[in-house]
Amino acid sequence: MLGFSTTNEAGELSDEELLRRSRSEPWLFAVLLDRYQEPFLRKVRGILYSEEDAEEVVQDAFTKIYLNAGRFAPQEGASFSSWAYRVLLNTAFTRYQKLVKEGQRFTRVDPEFEKFMGDSGLHTGMELDRDQVERVLEKMPGHLSTVLRLHYLERWSQQDIAELNKEDVGAVKARVHRAKSVFRKLMNVQSDA
């Protein structure tokens, strides 16, 4: 087995090979950091809207990836990047839930989410009262509220949600459509109250 003396030489290795070899040659993990740090930060900034939180989530995700390197098993159709993004998104979701519990009441939401809600009087520019949204989401069946939370509040792609739940994108699209309808009805009931 060849040893590498520079990061440039190691940069030619695949992600999977770098992860495997980083268990015995920890410095190789720096190549994965270089490859994924910026894309990870972009993804998490779109979920949390806080540079500080995004940096902490990415750091936590890289730590989990490194510590669990032995658990990664390449599978057909699944690469290191899909596994790493799943770790990242799970870490971001955990941070998001913690922020909600700590009382962060407002969030920026996807413009499409605002559009389907209509003029409910909840809009404050690009921010929405999280308490009211959470009350509506709590009244929804769990599988529907989860898909709305992930897709619109955390900006997960439907593809990411499908991979997380090990289902096809069509099923996620159908669930998002149904969830939007249920949310709209419950929001109108809450607005009338």
Q: What is the pLDDT of residues 44-56, one digit of tens each?
A: 887 777 889 899 9
Q: pTM value?
A: 0.54
CA angle 110, 126, 109 (to 5 degrees): 25
CB hemisphere CA count around 10 (13 angstroms): 24
Cβ-contact 172, 165 below 8 angstroms? yes
Task: Please tell us whether the domain made up of 12-101 is placed in CATH 1.10.1740.10.
Answer: yes
Strand, coil or helix: 93: helix
CATH of domain 106-192: 1.10.10.10
CA angle 39, 70, 167 (to 5 degrees): 60
Give the start-to-end residue ranges of the domains of the chain: 12-101, 106-192
Q: What is the pLDDT of residues 128-173, one digit of tens each?
A: 566 677 788 888 888 888 888 887 777 778 888 888 778 888 988 9
DSSP secondary structure letter of residue 83 = H
